[in-house]
Amino acid sequence: MNVKQAYYMSMEYLQGRALLNAIGNLQLSGPYAEALKKLGHNLEDVANQEPDAALGNGGLGRLASCFLDSLATLNYPAWGYGLRYKYGLFKQVITKDGQEEVAESWLEMGNPWEILRNDVSYPVRFYGEVISGPNGSKQWIGGENILAVAYDVPIPGYKTRTTINLRLWTTKVSPEGFDLHAFNTGDHVKAHAAMKNAEKICYILYPGDESIEGKTLRLKQQYTLCSASLQDIIARFEKRSGKTVNWDTLPDKVVVQMNDTHPTLCIPELIRILMDVKGLSWEEAWDITKRTVAYTNHTVLPEALEKWSLMLLQDLLPRHVEIIRMIDEEFIHEIISEHGAHDLDLLHEKLRNMRILENIELPNSVIELLNNTKVVPAIDPVGEIDVDDDDIMAIEGKKEEDDGGNEVGEEDGGDPVGEDTENKIQKTFKVDPKQPMMVRMANLCVVGGFSVNGVAEIHSEIVKEEVFNAFYKFWPEKFQNKTNGVTPRRWIRFCNPNLSKIITKWIGTEDWVTDLEKLAILRQFADNENLLLEWMDAKRRNKIKVASFLLEKTGYVVSPDAMFDVQVKRIHEYKRQLLNILGIVYRYKKMKELSAEERKQRFVPRVCIFGGKAFSTYVQAKRIVKFITDVGDTINHDPEIGDLLKVVFVPDYNVSVAETLIPGSELSQHISTGGMEASGTSNMKFAMNGCLLIGTLDGANVEIREEVGEENFFLFGARAQEIAGLRKERAEGKFVPDPRFEEVKAYVRSGVFGPYNYDDLMGSLEGNEGYGRADYFLVGKDFPSYLECQEEVDKAYRDQKRWTRMSILNTAGSYKFSSDRTISEYARDIWRIEPVALA
């Protein structure tokens, strides 16, 4: 139909199993189960044979998959693009030494949900050189050439004929890449070298990047995704355009959404294709790109705002570095035209925050411009820039004195445009030879994209006020919020049939599955005795299923009468699994100090469930996994404690594990350091399934608490705006730890949880400064309020009627967090695409 289409570009898709989702979306669950029964099979048993597609790691990938489901369900013309990782991230195995990693085997038996498209392949180049042609044209030649081949994964919508596509790329070389001569002379390794070099690009997600080889491989992955996808998008655009292609209409037909900074190379790659392959001018290509590409930011962590070595990029992608330098130069001129060049210190500060290239000399055209600029307020060549009185005052003050106390331009009687200005420019914009030259990918995304969005209200404010504040002041119209959501099909309708039936019965329709706002109807029944009883019964049945699952996966027997308290997510210090387990250790210590009778009186029985992968090179995160398993091993074998407290680490957490755990959870922990979690989406899944949340005022927790009601959310901890001050206080040695915090650390060090030396882990919570020290994530600061909040949890749980009412109100208030709502907002505000329903 040649309508505008959206293309979602993501390094991760955490799809989960496809069978139940597919037959559910096709409204075939009953007939399919019946057909299997006639063949002597049970649907659940068959579904459990399917491995999870190992294409993602955490929330970033799961969000992308939820978005695809909503795009299909809402009939939007859109595709996803990603890479087909042969061995995934890794399969997590828990041993006595903690986490161990082995390769995923999800493709071992083949994948029936994909279609190999040998007819869809594109060349991808690395290394080589750039040569100049006539009329200033450029050509990138030589180097290493591979082929990206497409695998298509159909994504069916719910109750619609629309099925969109997730196109995944795998890498190989053409048969000419096999060195037959080397093979026949016995050098078999050399014969296969080019093939293995190409294939390894899609071996694993996020290969370790400590080595130069690892960094190179990651960049190759990112570029392969961008290059193959854009070549495909442009081929589709040309095919739909017919005989005459008007490139200026590309942004009217195509929008590319970059999911975080991994696909940043889309920007220079689109320019390269338009200029070097399609023959457009720099001005045309840059203008089209700026109207085609949009960027979603997912993090405030500095290490996750990608930077790449200019030298590495120059070596691997020489043409792209030329283009990035052109973008950087153009952008510097744009900054100067906006702010003037009269105040070099102000300009230096702007460029320090906003330049794409870091610690790299200014382009010659900029130096020339600065040398010809008098130290007076700047005048726009087209018209005067509006300057308010405060700015004029600041300029006047600046003119009066330079560092030496002389009037600017009068030192030694010099000319303000002469040698002193040149020296000042060199001094102000000096490159530090000891520091690496870097390319800041997030800055490139902001400069090259027409839209920048955060993924929760608080996160989007932090993006505007802190992470990209200078850009926000420069382009306020670019920035917006799109609070994340999750698909209610997979995350309640299919994974929690017990609760879904109750919701449908009390609401009076199943339309809530695609119109989640109808969940709010449950509020009027929150005190109904019959609903309370049905709700409690559904939760108990789900808990029995979880208990059976835990026995199968870990060998631990847990009581479904205990509260099921769950924290499942990537293991990271900012997510503070350490705070959770230290709280459990404190609880255990207090239990041990009481008699059996006193214990039962004071403590609500709990099963504390953890799950999540620590990145293979993240030492501290792996220590936390080891600590959790050691604590569990001790507590679970303590006959004095029995069913009062259990600690279970579920190995190899993935989508299928989540689909079992979440419906049976009663308390879920979302306890990141304030201001550090962009959004979170598991918090939405838990709330949707009637699980109560304990958490900080961070990410989407803020909005969940608003929607479900403050009294139905257990809040603790420092607020985002307090964090910087608290870290400063710590650095100045003013922090006084709570005695309970000191007590719990000493208890850990006493060896009660085994012989492993936890000094490095406990040491990270001590001291006032230094790498890996000084409790950067404020575990000690929030520990007392966390313990007190957990006492409130116990108190609420003892009153099961009150707890169940809170559970109902969590489900009723979760309607905002449907990915259908999120995708509708992206489509309306960013992509400007319309639904296209198939007849």
Active site residues: 298, 569-570, 575, 681, 685
E strand or H helix that includes residue 10? none
Q: With contact defined as beta carbons under 8 Å apart, do 305 and 486 qualify?
A: no
Q: With contact defined as beta carbons under 8 Å apart, do 585 and 748 qualify?
A: yes
| Structure tokens, 254 | 């195509």
Q: Which residue has the tokens 């559904």?
A: 538
Distance between CA atoms of 615 and 571, rounded to whole angstroms? Answer: 8
Q: With contact defined as beta carbons under 8 Å apart, do 169 and 301 qualify?
A: no
Q: With contact defined as beta carbons under 8 Å apart, do 691 and 712 qualify?
A: no
Q: Which residue has the tokens 């060998």?
A: 555
Distance between CA atoms of 271 and 226, rounded to whole angstroms? Answer: 12
Residue 166: alpha-carbon gap to chain centroid: 19
Amino acid at 81: Y
Helix ranges (H only) for 508-618 are: 529-554, 577-592, 596-602
User: With the C-alpha atoms ordered 356, 362, 364, 366, is the resulting torsion angle positive or negative?
Assistant: positive
How many Cβ atoms are within 10 Å of 349's Cβ, its own excluded? 13
Maximum pairwise Cα distance, the chain:
100
Q: With contact defined as beta carbons under 8 Å apart, do 793 and 668 qualify?
A: no
Cα–Cα distances (Å) from 793 to 201, 605, 668, 715, 738, in that order, read 48, 12, 11, 10, 21
DSSP per-residue codes, 782-814 = HHHHHHHHHHHHHHHHHSHHHHHHHHHHHHHTT
Amino acid at 112: P
| Structure tokens, 657 | 């594990």
Q: With contact defined as beta carbons under 8 Å apart, do 317 and 310 qualify?
A: no
Distance between CA atoms of 340 and 343, rounded to whole angstroms? Answer: 7
DSSP per-residue codes, 43-104 = HHHHHTTSPPB----SHHHHHHHHHHHHHHHTT--EEEEEE--SS-S-EEEEETTEEEEE--
Rounded to the nearest 10°, the torsion over CA 191, 193, 195, 201 is 170
